[in-house]
């Protein structure tokens, strides 16, 4: 297995005959040159900015010093490849929005920016002189000592020469003795340079390219990716709902109408009439089930009219009487928040009807300070609900936690039960309500600008279905009319 970095190579046999000593020398040499150039650049920028600060032109230059670590750190991550084959990614986050202001705000709030600035100042003030001194002592001095016989033969005329202008060598025996000492110093210096390059690379990786990445940055990125997944999931739900409505539901509407027309053409009382009647009833039942399925996937009333109308619709559908109270009109919220809040209410009301034995329930919602949605579902049932005994409440808590929200349950034995949900969110920009597709049969078009309350039945519905809500959901009203 080949060594991945200079530290691993140091403890392998044949280190001095491998490329690693030369890579260490290249790393330290380029580091010294880079540090000297950075020092000159910083001094020049600060000097020019200090002179021009009187006319306010120098203020941007002085402020730019805070970002001086960014290009230097990018160069350092590239130089790491000389002595470390592992990846060296940056620890910076992508700005939340495009534009210079968002970029500046993100960078100023990141710890990585200030770590890189500290690394830049350390490189410019301390590291590059140390690297230059180490290269001189561990490389150039041994090389000059090894070259003593050559210097004696050329510059000394075979009689006398000076090594490093300090040590006088007279005669060939002394010259070859100096060369042997130089070889020994080169061996020691090769290992010293490798260790120094490894230490320098470790410091650089710690400050500008941590192996595990910045934990805080990873948490932020995981949060953003989780939010993107939630948005994609909700978009897919809406697509499935739209495809079912525009495809299978419209075909069932047409089939129900055709069966109804066929029944009118067949004399009553015969076998064919009975079969058509059964087929018509089955088609109507399938249409009703499909309508409920579509409503469960993503109710159109939620997309068109928001959380308040959708919660009122869910309360109207509950077999237990439910009072709905909104402290003040709730603005349109992000789609993921509205969907999560709606399904929490719907699941909670379903649990009330199935398990609590309650006679009455209450739903209360409030958008506090424009930043926090607070939702409470209470009932007067027997209590004793425990999230550890089932996956329903756990699923609700997981759905809310994806949005950085919190779900708490208070349900002592004997009741009452209170489910409280808090989701941080801000109002979404106003948008036009979605326009439903035109129905497949002639019916009076609904007026989205004047929706009926979800708990009222629209006049076109037949008397046999007074409990079916219409009004905000134009498409549901269309299906109910066609299935009559």
What is the reported pLDDT for 465?
38
The answer to which of 26-40, 68-82, 356-370 has the lowest mean pLDDT is 356-370
Distances (CA, A) of 342 to 333, 350, 399, 431: 12, 12, 11, 19
Cβ burial 19-41 (10 Å sphere, 16+ → b, else e):
ebbebbbebbbebbebbbebbee
- Exposed / middle / buried, residue 306 (Cβ in 10 Å: 0-12, 13-18, 19+): buried
Indicate whether 156 pLDDT > 80: no
Mean pLDDT across the stretch 402-424?
85
What is the reported pLDDT for 407?
87
The answer to which of 160-169, 221-230, 344-353 has the lowest mean pLDDT is 221-230
Find the Cα–Cα–Cα–Cα dihedral 287, 293, 298, 304, rounded to 10°: 30
Tokens coding 439: 């129905």
Mean pLDDT across the stretch 151-162?
76
Number of neighbours of residue 175 by Cβ within 10 angstroms: 22
Find the Cα–Cα–Cα–Cα dihedral 7, 9, 14, 19, rounded to 10°: -110
DSSP 431: -
Residue 470 contacts by C-beta under 8 Å, 6 or more apart in sequence? Answer: 452, 456, 457, 458, 460, 461, 476, 477, 480
Mean pLDDT across the stretch 12-36?
93
The answer to which of 122-126, 207-211, 264-268, 463-467 has the lowest mean pLDDT is 463-467
Q: Which stretch, 21-30, 156-165, 349-358, has highest mean pLDDT?
A: 21-30
What is the reported pLDDT for 234?
66
**Which of the pair, 257 or 450, is modelled with greater confidence?**
257
Confidence bin at 44 (pLDDT 50/70/90): very high
Indicate whether 131 pLDDT > 90: yes
Indicate whether 329 pLDDT > 50: yes
Confidence bin at 480 (pLDDT 50/70/90): very low
What is the reported pLDDT for 457?
35
């Amino acid at each position: 297995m080949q060594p991945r970095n200079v530290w691993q190579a140091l403890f392998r046999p044949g280190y001095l005959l491998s490329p690693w000593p030369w890579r260490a020398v290249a790393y330290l040499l380029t580091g010294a040159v880079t540090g000297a150039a950075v020092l000159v650049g910083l001094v020049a920028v600060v000097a020019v900015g200090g002179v021009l600060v009187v006319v306010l032109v120098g203020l941007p230059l002085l402020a730019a010093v805070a970002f001086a670590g960014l290009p230097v750190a990018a160069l350092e991550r590239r130089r790491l490849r000389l002595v470390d084959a592992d990846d060296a990614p940056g620890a910076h986050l992508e700005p939340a929005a495009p534009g210079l202001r968002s970029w500046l705000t993100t960078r100023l709030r990141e710890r990585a920016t200030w770590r890189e600035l500290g690394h830049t100042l350390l490189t410019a003030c301390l590291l590059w002189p140390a690297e230059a001194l180490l290269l001189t002592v561990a490389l150039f001095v041994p090389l000059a000592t090894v070259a003593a016989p050559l210097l004696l033969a050329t510059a000394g005329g075979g009689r006398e020469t000076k090594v490093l202008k300090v040590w006088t060598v007279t005669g060939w025996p002394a010259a070859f003795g100096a060369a042997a000492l130089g070889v020994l110093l080169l061996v020691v210096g090769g290992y010293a340079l490798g260790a120094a390059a490894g230490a320098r690379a470790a410091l650089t990786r710690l400050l500008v390219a941590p192996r595990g990445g910045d934990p805080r940055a990873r948490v932020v990125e995981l949060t953003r990716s989780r939010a993107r997944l939630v948005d994609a999931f909700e978009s897919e739900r809406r697509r499935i709902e739209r495809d079912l409505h525009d495809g299978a539901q419209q075909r069932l509407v047409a089939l129900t109408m055709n069966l109804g027309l066929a029944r009118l053409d067949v004399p009553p009382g015969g076998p064919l009439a009975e079969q058509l009647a059964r087929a018509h009833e089955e088609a109507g039942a399938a249409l009703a089930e499909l309508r409920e399925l579509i409503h469960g996937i993503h109710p159109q009333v939620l997309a068109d009219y928001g959380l308040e109308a959708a919660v009122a619709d869910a309360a109207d559908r509950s077999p237990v009487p439910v009072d709905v109270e909104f402290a003040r009109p709730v603005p349109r919220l992000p789609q993921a928040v509205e969907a999560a809040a709606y399904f929490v209410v719907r699941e909670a009301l379903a649990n009330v009807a199935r398990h609590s034995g309650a006679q009455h329930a209450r739903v209360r919602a409030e958008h506090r300070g424009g930043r926090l949605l607070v939702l409470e579902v209470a009932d007067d049932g027997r209590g004793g609900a425990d999230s550890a005994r089932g996956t329903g409440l756990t699923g609700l808590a997981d759905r809310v936690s994806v949005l950085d929200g919190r779900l708490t349950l208070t349900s002592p034995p004997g009741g009452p039960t209170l489910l409280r949900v808090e989701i941080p969110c801000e109002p979404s920009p106003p948008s036009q309500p979605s326009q439903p597709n035109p129905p497949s049969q002639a019916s009076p078009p609904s007026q989205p600008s004047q929706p009926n309350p979800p708990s009222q039945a629209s006049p076109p519905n037949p008397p046999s279905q007074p409990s079916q809500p219409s009004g905000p959901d134009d498409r549901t009203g269309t299906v109910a009319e066609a299935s009559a």
